[in-house]
Structure 1
């Protein structure tokens, strides 16, 4: 626009020139005034018309500099938008949000910034598009797009960086243990998980099973808190190194929308549920479809579901003939020691003594004995005793506040409501059936003792349920029977027993009581087979004065009524699990007996054993 001061000068000059010409012709004063006024009006009209023309021309020239179409780039993806109706940069931000409706659906326009290059300052949201036209001109080409960044979308950037840098991660081995060191990224894009993670030996075993067997749909489950999500990170690493196409659905808290990422060598893209790319990827058997903590979509893609033991997540997938279910066991203490050495070597962050003491309560669950222990120590200003008191208190309260029957029912139901039952019962590796079956075990020796103290009376008063109705699961029944049997032996009394290793084996029962002499050994079991390790029994015998072996020491297999009359002599095993065939030594002097704990199905003893009627109660160890 023209300067007002210049308009004034032009108007006055025009008027003076007209007046002088009229005076030169000899005109009167009135004529001079009239002509001078007319001249001013004409001059003003000409000036305004000229300025309007110049302004319109300048605007037209400026608008012609803004490309009709510019390219926007976000997380490695491009979209073209038209600028015709855009007036200010803020309109361009809204166009960017609409251009990436999936990736930016949770981001408000004020959180979006636009940059002409990766490291350039953000465009001012209030600036007119015409004002930044020169900066936008290069963005008309796909090769130099306008860079879109989202302040609230750091998660997307972290996931992209995690995936792109995975092939450059370093696997650091230390004997059987190993960890993966990531390059300039966070595990699963989550800053809370750090830059490295432990690679447990079980991860490699699971991958080997998946690679060699023909199943196209896999479910990996186990006790909550043992790191199943980290296993998915390990599998993503193997996929990235092989240039595989991956569909990844990370864990989402309930209520949040499902996010599905397409991961390829080109980058990461968040896909809409109705996206053609999503449909095509699921229909491709070469795609790896990895889901954390929810039921996956049924599709042709190779599928891996990692989840806590909630049946609703995997009941449908296991209906397929090509599916398989595998169990991941809790951590050993040696694994936890390695984890601490790699992730938290500073004793001020996580003292070894605190981890060990919590392991005695929580067992091999790093969510509690490592992660939560570290966080609580920081919260409680490094007071180790306060952390132990709080975490043990939380555990005992969780266990004591629920009846044992409820814990078992929730465990059997495999529902989210029963997650706290895993504070009591852990899903461990089955010694004979490998990864396809689990074996229940007490979470820890401290939890076992707590259960003994809190629930024995409940089990006694409702033994029909605990010892009969749950018999379809021997390992669960065995744990409950162990509580019941220990209480019965601790209280003492008379029990039916029969010898197993005489020739021929006795099918008659005797009544026995236990004197205080330390020459009885007990194995509580509900299984038909319960072999004994020769080395362990030799060690136990060595701890007792041999003078007390008169008569021979006895090994009692403490069994329920329905096992008692058919129970047979058990073999001794070597350390490798094979039957011991060498000279037994002192173990050969041990008599094997079956001892019945009444469960409502027993029958009376047929022979009295007068030798054992001392009537003294013996406390079972």
Structure 2
């Protein structure tokens, strides 16, 4: 028996493939594996440095541990990001099979933990995902919207990468606030597991009160805007995502975007801050807004009960938490109530009181190249208005 260990470069393994080799992929390291190696071999290396390298590189021990303090090696990631343009993303997966170090630094194979067979390709980290998104937007924003469209038409092998770009787009839109189309999700048998009626729990106020308090006139519209800088947004009063059930709209106030590294940062964060985990592994959800909003953006939405319990604990177990599944327009109408599962993915009906109290909603966000403009949530041809200067 011959065993070949190599990078997934076509020129290297191709001749072995003629003998019908059995291929397996080594996954990138998880955070706990990085920590174990750090304590055993790199204990003199400051943990803050390791954490920052992991935040940028993902689970590649060569750059997270061995070369953590080597500036020339750390700059290789920034050099790789310089190639990230729209055409590069279109060809990215193919380049992983070629001798293209830039692609391997920005993209990682996601591997099945039991079979070690390649599942799909994903961005190396949130940091890389954010940087690639911004470069694509600056390079050709209209082409970026075309890529975002591919993330939900289900007809492209690059769906995972495109979905990640849509995720990043949503993170640039929601902190600006606006009004978005929503629909309450109910179990197929018509039973809602919630213990508290959401509409009774919140005082939404009148339309006139909303208009007078809003920093922008966004009634009935979906705000599409550039990224907010940290520190923007108002935290002068508690911020609540107000649901208009009759119109099928949620009014989202302007919020300050903040990335967090630990549970304690969530616990001490102000109400209304748009909280996003810095490192992918931290949470099974994509954003949190205190006091009671959980946001997830993905092609698939496994609702693992334990993970949701952990998130609700961070929020202080609100009486009527709201879980928003953010999707593009093509995914809105057919999106169904999401069943809760165990950590192994098995459906479960033995729910904790916190999970039973969750209200599920599907929320539509429409990609648009018209940054700084607003758009009616139920129609791409709605009346458009300039955002009011603050």
Contact 2:109 2:121 in 1 (8 A): yes
Is 2:302 the counterpart of 1:531?
A: yes
1:423 to 100, 105, 115: 105
Is 2:339 the counterpart of 1:592?
A: no
Distance 1:415 1:427, change over 3 A: closer
Post-superposition CA distance 1:487-524 (Å, at most 9, x none): 22233323222222266499x98333214573321110
Contact 2:9 2:97 in 1 (8 A): yes
Aligned length: 282
**How far apart are residue 311 of structure 1 and its match?**
3.3
Is 2:333 the counterpart of 1:565?
A: yes
Corresponding residue of 1:495: 180
Point out where structure 2 has 5 or more consecutive residues left out of the alignment: 193-245, 254-271, 273-289, 369-374, 380-386
Is 2:142 the counterpart of 1:461?
A: yes
Post-superposition CA distance 1:2-22 (Å, at most 9, x none): xxxxxxxxxxxxxxxxxxxxx
Corresponding residue of 1:257: none
**How far apart are residue 392 of structure 1 and its match?**
4.4
Distance 1:458 1:498, change over 3 A: farther
Contact 2:133 2:165 in 1 (8 A): no
Corresponding residue of 1:484: 169
**How far apart are residue 351 of structure 1 and its match?**
4.9
Is 2:118 the counterpart of 1:437?
A: yes
Is 2:338 the counterpart of 1:583?
A: no
**How far apart are residue 397 of structure 1 and its match?**
3.8
| In structure 2, distance between residues paired with 1:339 and 1:396 | 25
Contact 2:170 2:365 in 1 (8 A): yes
Distance 1:319 1:520, change over 3 A: farther
Contact 1:532 1:571 in 2 (8 A): yes
Give the superposed CA RMSD: 3.8
| In structure 1, distance between residues paired with 2:173 and 2:47 | 38
Corresponding residue of 1:204: none
- Structure having greater relative contact order (Cα 8 Å, sep ≥ 6): 2
| In structure 2, distance between residues paired with 1:338 and 1:545 | 31
Larger Rg: 1
| In structure 2, distance between residues paired with 1:521 and 1:354 | 30
| In structure 2, distance between residues paired with 1:353 and 1:605 | 46
In the superposition, the TM-score normalised over structure 1's length comes to 0.40
2:158 to 441, 463, 473: 473
| In structure 1, distance between residues paired with 2:180 and 2:53 | 38
| Aligned counterparts, 1:99-110, within 5 A | none
2:9 to 310, 313, 326: 310
Corresponding residue of 1:324: 22
Contact 2:302 2:340 in 1 (8 A): yes
| Aligned counterparts, 1:343-492, within 5 A | 343=41, 347=44, 350-373=45-68, 376=70, 387=71, 391-416=73-98, 418-430=100-112, 434-458=115-139, 460-462=141-143, 463-468=145-150, 471-492=156-177
Corresponding residue of 1:5: none
Contact 2:185 2:336 in 1 (8 A): yes
Distance 1:353 1:587, change over 3 A: closer
Give the secondary structure class of the aligned counterpart of 2:171.
Answer: helix
Contact 1:498 1:509 in 2 (8 A): no
| In structure 2, distance between residues paired with 1:486 and 1:480 | 10
Contact 1:561 1:596 in 2 (8 A): yes
Distance 1:565 1:444, change over 3 A: same
**How far apart are residue 341 of structure 1 and its match?**
5.0
| Aligned counterparts, 1:604-615, within 5 A | 605=378
**Larger helix percent:** 1
Distance 1:311 1:533, change over 3 A: same
Distance 1:520 1:326, change over 3 A: same
**How far apart are residue 584 of structure 1 and its match?**
2.8
| In structure 1, distance between residues paired with 2:86 and 2:52 | 25
Corresponding residue of 1:3: none
Consecutive aligned runs of 4 or more in structure 1 exceeding 6 Å deviation: none
**How far apart are residue 557 of structure 1 and its match?**
0.8
Corresponding residue of 1:519: 292
Contact 1:460 1:484 in 2 (8 A): no
